[in-house]
Copies of this chain bind each other. A is one copy, B any other.
Amino acid sequence: MSTNKKEAFTQEEQELAELAKALAHPARIAILKELARRNVCICGEIVEVLPLAQSTVSQHLKELQQAGLIKGSVDGVKSCYCINYEAFKRFEGILEKFFRITENSQGCC
């Protein structure tokens, strides 16, 4: 990104992009909010609460888990998910750093 083109994007840029992508759908935001609201983990209750099919919700949960923002565990026949607090802290840190960069610039348009 500095002089020669060709070298793709930095690790940081990619990590931030991936985390942002996890938030880039209202359903996933709603899921995260719901997980946070009930401090006891939930599972198919999320399906009850969202206007989406069970398989679709399951998919969103998987994406959130792959992004690291939530943790999951199996409890009998049920599945239990919850906020990954550490991941959110890290996410916050990365964002804060990014926003700080944008603060130094005094737009001209």
Contact = CB atoms under 8 A, between A and B. Distances in A.
Contacts of A102: 32, 36, 83, 85, 88
A101 B33 CA distance: 7
A1 B29 contact: no
Contacts of A9: 26-27, 29-30
Contacts of A18: 24
User: Most B CB atoms within 10 A — which of A20, A37, A105?
Assistant: A105
Interface residues of A, number: 62
Number of copies of chain A assembled together: 2
Given A9-B27, A14-B26, A30-B9, A82 B98 contact: no
Given A10-B30, A80-B109, 17 more contacts: A1-B34, A5-B49, A5-B50, A9-B29, A13-B30, A20-B22, A36-B102, A37-B105, A39-B108, A41-B107, A71-B107, A71-B109, A72-B109, A82-B109, A83-B105, A83-B107, A92-B99
